[in-house]
A and B are shown apart, each in its own frame.
Chain A
Amino acid sequence: MPTYKKITYAEAINQGMHQAMELSEDVIVMGQLIDYKPGVFGTTVGLIEKFGKKRVRDFPVAESLMTSAGIGAAVAGQRVILVHIRIDFMMYSLDAVVNWLSLWRFKSNNESNVPLVIRAIVGRGWGQGPQHSKSFHSWFAHLPGIRVAMPATAFDAKGLLLESIFGEDPSIIIEHRALFNLKDQVPKEAYRVRYGKAVIRKEGKDVTMVAIGCSVIDALKAAKNLENEGISVEVIDPRTLTPLDRDTISKSVLKTKRLVVVDPGWHSFGASSEIITSISEKNIHKMKANPIRITLPDSHTPMSVSLEKKYYIKQENIVLAVKKLINHKE
Chain B
Amino acid sequence: MKLINHENILKIGKYKKISLANINKKLAIKLYTFMLKLRLCEEAIEKEYHPADEMRCPVHFCSGEEAVPASLNSILKSGDYLFSHHRSHGYYLAKKAPMTKLFAELYGKKTGANSGLAGSQDISYAKNNFFSGAILAGAASIALGTAISFEMKRKNNKVVVTGFGEAATDQGIFWESLNYASLKKLPIIFVCENNNYSTFSPQSKRVGGASIAERAKLFGVKSKSIFGNDVCLVYRELHKAILNARKGKGPFLLETFTYRYSGHVGPLSDEFVGYRSKKEISFWKKNCPIVLFEEILLKKKYLVKNDIKNIKTKINHEINESFSYAKKSDFPIINSLEDLNLNKETPVADKILKDMENVNFDSDQKVILPKGY
**Interface residues in chain A, defined as those with a beta carbon under 8 Å from any beta carbon in chain B:** 2, 4, 23-24, 28, 41, 54-55, 57, 60, 62, 64-65, 68-78, 80, 95-96, 99-100, 102-103, 105-113, 124-128, 144-145, 147, 152-153, 155-156, 159, 162-163, 166-169, 177-185, 187, 189-194, 199, 201-202, 217-218, 220-221, 224, 242-243
1/0 contact trace for B184-207 toward A, CB 8 Å?
000000000000000000000000
Residues in B whose Cβ lies below 8 Å from that of A128: 372
**By the criterion CB–CB under 8 Å, are B152 and A125 in contact?**
no
**By the criterion CB–CB under 8 Å, are B176 and A64 in contact?**
yes
Min CB distance, A89 to chain B, in Å? 13
Q: From DSSP, what is the main secondary structure of chain A's interface residues?
A: mixed
Min CB distance, B338 to chain A, in Å? 7
Known: A23-B352, A69-B141, A75-B146. A109 touches B151 (CB 8 A): no
**By the criterion CB–CB under 8 Å, are A69 and B359 in contact?**
no
**By the criterion CB–CB under 8 Å, are A180 and B370 in contact?**
yes
Residues in A whose Cβ lies below 8 Å from that of B124: 107-108, 111-112
Residues in B whose Cβ lies below 8 Å from that of A202: 363
Known: A65-B144, A125-B372, A166-B348. A109 touches B367 (CB 8 A): no
Given pairs A103-B341, A111-B125, 8 additional interface contacts (CB within 8 A): A24-B352, A100-B135, A109-B117, A183-B365, A192-B354, A192-B355, A217-B365, A218-B367
**By the criterion CB–CB under 8 Å, are A108 and B173 in contact?**
no
**By the criterion CB–CB under 8 Å, are B144 and A106 in contact?**
no
Choice from B143, B349, B356 contacting A189 with Cβ under 8 Å: B356
In whole angstroms, how far apart are the Cα atoms of A193 and B357 in the complex? Answer: 9
Whether a CB of chain A sits under 8 angstroms from the CB of B369 is yes
Residues in B whose Cβ lies below 8 Å from that of A178: 367, 369-370
Known: A23-B352, A107-B124, A109-B340. A55 touches B141 (CB 8 A): no
Q: How many residues from B make CB contacts under 8 Å with A?
A: 65
**By the criterion CB–CB under 8 Å, are B341 and A74 in contact?**
no
Residues in B whose Cβ lies below 8 Å from that of A184: 359, 361-362
Whether a CB of chain A sits under 8 angstroms from the CB of B44 is no
Residues in A whose Cβ lies below 8 Å from that of B144: 65, 68-69, 72
Q: Nearest 9 A-B pairs (CB), nearest first?
A: A72-B145, A220-B363, A68-B141, A69-B145, A126-B372, A76-B149, A65-B176, A192-B353, A125-B370
Whether a CB of chain A sits under 8 angstroms from the CB of B100 is no
In whole angstroms, how far apart are the Cα atoms of A184 and B145 in the complex? Answer: 36
Min CB distance, B280 to chain A, in Å? 32
Whether a CB of chain A sits under 8 angstroms from the CB of B284 is no
Choice from B83, B115, B338, B347 contacting A109 with Cβ under 8 Å: B115
Residues in A whose Cβ lies below 8 Å from that of B357: 2
Choice from B143, B149, B342 contacting A169 with Cβ under 8 Å: B342
Residue of A nearest to B188 (CB): A72
Known: A69-B142, A76-B81, A78-B149. A108 touches B118 (CB 8 A): yes
**By the criterion CB–CB under 8 Å, are B343 and A169 in contact?**
yes
Residues in A whose Cβ lies below 8 Å from that of B152: 28, 54-55, 78
Whether a CB of chain A sits under 8 angstroms from the CB of B170 is no
In whole angstroms, how far apart are the Cα atoms of A65 and B357 in the complex? Answer: 38
Choice from B143, B356, B361 contacting A72 with Cβ under 8 Å: B143
In B140-197, the 8 Å CB interface with A consists of 141-152, 160, 172-173, 176-177, 179-180, 183
**By the criterion CB–CB under 8 Å, are B352 and A190 in contact?**
yes
* Interface-central residue, B143, B151, B353, by most chain A CB under 10 Å: B353
Residue of B nearest to A165 (CB): B349
**By the criterion CB–CB under 8 Å, are A64 and B141 in contact?**
yes
Min CB distance, B369 to chain A, in Å? 5
**What are 26 pairs between A and B in contact, CB < 8 Å?**
A62-B176, A69-B177, A69-B180, A72-B142, A72-B160, A95-B138, A100-B135, A100-B138, A102-B341, A105-B341, A105-B342, A106-B341, A107-B124, A124-B369, A125-B373, A126-B370, A145-B342, A162-B349, A168-B343, A178-B369, A178-B370, A191-B353, A217-B365, A220-B363, A221-B364, A224-B363
In whole angstroms, how far apart are the Cα atoms of A126 and B372 in the complex? Answer: 4
